[in-house]
Amino acid sequence: MPADELDLEILRALRGPDAPPPGEARERAAARLFAAIDAERGPARPRRGRGPIRLAAVLVVVGLAGAGYAVFKPADPAAGVICATDVAETPSGLQAPLERGGPTATCAALWRRGLVDPRRRRAPAQLTACDSGGGAVFVFPAGGDVCARVGMQPAADRTTGEERRFIAMRKRLVRWFMRQGDGYVSFARGEAQVRRELRRSRLVGWEIRRGRPASPGARPRPCASLYFQWGSVTLVPMERHRGP
Amino acid sequence: MEPSPSDAELIARSVAEPELFGTIFERHHATVHGYLRRRLGSEAADDLLGETFTQALRARGRYTPRHETCRPWLLGIAAHLIANHRRGESRRLAALQREAGRLAFPAGFDGLPSSVAGELVGELRRLAPRDREVLLLHAWAELGYAEIAEALDIPVGTVRSRLHRAREQLRRRLEPAATGGCHAG
């Protein structure tokens, strides 16, 4: 190694290992992006005859063996579905919020929009929902015994009334947050809105949590963004940023 | 098998179909988060990841592809956000300086004193912010000169001169260590 590269080599060593962002951070970022997409188009604008655009709150491609998925509780509807592009125990895929039609209907719509695989805009002939026991439901582009082949159990391909109320509430809340100063909302206002929505949605016993506190010495972060788990809505601290 | 669309193609299509910007997020969010984390720490990186892509979404109509990947463009947006967090970066570098003594040097540099990395980070803190930005886009984000020029919207010649200046400053700090830690005279 040439000595005149020493400065760069030490800097590179200081860079540390590459690691994907934690699952929660990734989901929050994706939710923010897709809420901005939704806000840009407007919630009621027709989209080339396909009806009103749906709020795609979270779309994340995942390395599904990633540690982030170990933290999900089994069959958590708030963890959404993972539309896999291949049949494997650790497939590639797109994570998306569960829609009221159930896991395979959710993924079929995303396939048709070219969001699961930009190279094709049609849903696979067969889609099967499987439960990995890790929270999110996997939807594979295959039929038959695909769940057994990848070591999972068949998952229910429908949503309950409570889940449908949650799905509707999540869409309303994300949309409301994005309309309030571009997604920057004070904790008090955010908490009040979440409380109203939980009541309206008849989701009894749900908690409203505050995200992890800022690290010691960090500036207080006055704004809140949302993070959903089944049974709780977390207001996560964030700072306001301005564009370039 | 049909090849995946390029970043430029996806961004162009996303002007009419914004959901396609999700694929840009899929492809690059880990890289952008990694750079933000190295510069500002995990907490700020978690916050700024979404902001980077949201700003990119808004700016996509002005995107002019100059490379196969849009990574430089995204990292340029991240760099702009980092510039608003000087205090956060200062704290991060101070922490890195403290940790640097435990750094495992790459093979071939076993003889260096453990204090070298800390001294180098100290010098990094003293660099002019715009010189530090160029240096770290090169060393931490692995961008080439032309890519850095795209990221920061500056001429390639300016990239070269800033990088040269920054590395000269660091090398001056390293010279005594690299020659055995002894000053002449």
What is the structure's pLDDT at B78? 96
- Give the C-alpha separation, A152 to A91, whole Å: 13
Residues of A within 8 A of B107 (CB-CB) are 1
Residues in Cβ contact with B29 at an 8 Å cutoff, skipping those fewer than 6 apart: A21, A26, A29, A30, A60, B49, B53
At B3, give phi and psi (nearest 5°). Answer: -70, 155
Interface test with B, best of A4, A5, A10, A235 (most B CBs within 10 A): A10
Within 50-109 of A, beta carbons closer than 8 Å to B belong to 56, 59-61, 94
User: Is A196's pLDDT higher than 70?
Assistant: yes
Name the percent of chain B lying above pLDDT 70. Answer: 85
Pairing type for strands A92-96 and A128-131 reads unpaired
Place A23 in a pLDDT band, splitting at 50, 70 and 90: confident
What is the structure's pLDDT at A208? 92
Compute the nearest-CA separation of A204 from chain B (Å): 30
Q: Which residues of B19-36 are buried (b: 16+ CB within 10 A; e: fewer)?
A: bbbbbbbbbbbbbbbbbb
What is the structure's pLDDT at A16? 76
Within 194-223 of A, beta carbons closer than 8 Å to B belong to 214-215, 217-219, 221
Helix (H) or strand (E) holding B32: helix B21-40
What is the structure's pLDDT at B113? 65
Averaged pLDDT for residues A194-223: 79
What is the structure's pLDDT at B52? 94
User: Is B182's pLDDT higher than 80?
Assistant: no
Place A94 in a pLDDT band, splitting at 50, 70 and 90: confident
Please tell me which residue of chain A has the smallest CA distance to B18: A37
What is the structure's pLDDT at B79? 95
Write down the H helix ranges in B41-85.
42-59, 71-83
Average pLDDT of chain A is 75
Place B144 in a pLDDT band, splitting at 50, 70 and 90: very high
Interface contact B22-A244, CB threshold 8 A: no
Contact A203, A162 (CB under 8 A): yes
For residue A25, the tally of other CB atoms under 10 A from its CB is 24
Compute the nearest-CA separation of B94 from chain A (Å): 13
pLDDT tens track for A102-126: 999 999 998 888 778 777 889 999 9
pLDDT tens track for A153-171: 899 898 999 999 999 998 8
Helix (H) or strand (E) holding A224: strand A223-229
Tokens of B181: 């830690």
pTM passes above 0.90? no
